[in-house]
A = this chain, B = another copy of it.
Amino acid sequence: MKKDRLLIVGSVAFDSVETPAGKTEMAMGGSASFASIGASYWCQPLVVGVVGEDFGEKQFDRFADHGVDTRGIEIASGKTFHWRGRYHDDFKGRDTLETALNVFESFDPEIPREYADANYVFLGNIDPTLQTKVLDQTSAKVVAMDTMNYWIDTAMDALKNVIERVDLLFINDEEALQLSGEASVLGAANSILAMGPRYVVIKRGEYGALLFGPDMRLFVPAVLLEKVVDPTGAGDAFAGGFMGSLASKGVLDRSSLSSALINGTVIASFAVEAFSVDGICDLGQSEIKARTEQLENMICH
């Protein structure tokens, strides 16, 4: 079966992360990396991004191993985007210690001709002005986006312009309250839907995720884990798994969205069990299936 194609635009980066479980230096990261590898278990991911000359064969091999099409990743002269952060003892918060945009600073996403027929698009968490540029270049059937508090703080107008045009917004609970000015998740969801998108998915970390849409509310709990190693990228892996799953179904209905929530949740649970993309690389179908069943069995019905 020819896999459906999901275009992912976002950052490809090196992360240096310290958590209560350990640390890693200059490991492969970025929203497009987590989302594309996460999506690869359900669809054919196509990535648009930029890296520096220090992004090596080892990293490109990881994409290749998962069938990720990287023809849209530009190799610019300079260094790859680097983020350094440290999580608090309880994993509830983190501090950014260093953000070196490097080649990402002049990132100007261009969709290669070969990607033009992708029906599903995921706009990772980047400057909303760039997200809009991508939107202008695509006639995809379903476009989803992610964002973060930084853009709410600094680029609210541009952010609202792009939110208005997408089909689905991924956002975490705190940011949903901040974006909407509402006090409850339910109020925030309704307010965000009024901004334009048909669906909003509110991510709540270890508490699961909620989807709101026309006459539809869906909830999935997170997979219960004894040990978390590194939450970095879990939201991107979730969005990748969600969108990959959705692309593989070809329709947007209660059943496909419900599966997408479950698959996104499962892949995110693997993501947090290791540093970098290690947790979501080279997963067997049986591993994914076992965890999916574990999750489905947990749901009251």
Footprint of B on A, CB under 8 Å?
184-187, 204, 206-208, 210, 217-221, 224-228, 258, 261-262, 294, 296-301
- Residue pair A299, B301 in contact (C-beta under 8 Å): yes
Q: Are B301 and A227 in contact (CB under 8 A)?
A: no
- Chain B residues contacting A226 (CB-CB under 8 Å) are 184, 186-187
Q: List 8 A-B contacts (CB under 8 A).
A: A184-B225, A184-B227, A185-B206, A186-B224, A208-B221, A219-B298, A258-B300, A299-B299
Interface-central residue, A208, A220, A299, by most chain B CB under 10 Å: A299
If A221-B219, A224-B186 touch, whether A301 touches B296 (CB-CB below 8 Å) is yes
Kindly state the separation between the CA atoms of A225 and B185 in the bound complex, as whole angstroms: 8
Do the beta carbons of A297 and B221 come within 8 Å of each other?
no
Contacts of A297 in B (CB 8 A): 217
Number of copies of this protein chain within its complex:
2
- A301's nearest neighbour on chain B, judged by CB, is B301
Main SS class of interface, A: mixed
Query: Which residues on B sit within 8 Å (CB–CB) of A186?
Result: 224-226
A261: B residues at CB distance < 8 A: 300
Residues of B within 8 A of A228 (CB): 184
Known: A204-B207, A207-B204, A207-B207. A219 touches B299 (CB 8 A): yes
Whether the pair B221, A221 counts as a contact (CB closer than 8 A) is yes
Cα–Cα distance between A261 and B298 once the two chains are bound (Å): 12
Q: Are the CB atoms of B300 and A220 closer together than 8 Å?
A: yes
Within the complex, what minimum Cβ distance (angstroms) separates A297 from chain B?
7
Chain B residue numbers with a CB within 8 Å of A300 are 218-220, 258, 261-262, 299
Nearest Cβ distance between residue A209 and chain B, in whole angstroms? 9
B301 touches A185 (CB 8 A): no
A185–B207 Cα distance when bound, in Å, is: 11
Cβ–Cβ contact B225 & A301, under 8 A: no
In the complex, which residues of chain B have a beta carbon less than 8 angstroms from the beta carbon of A187?
A: 226
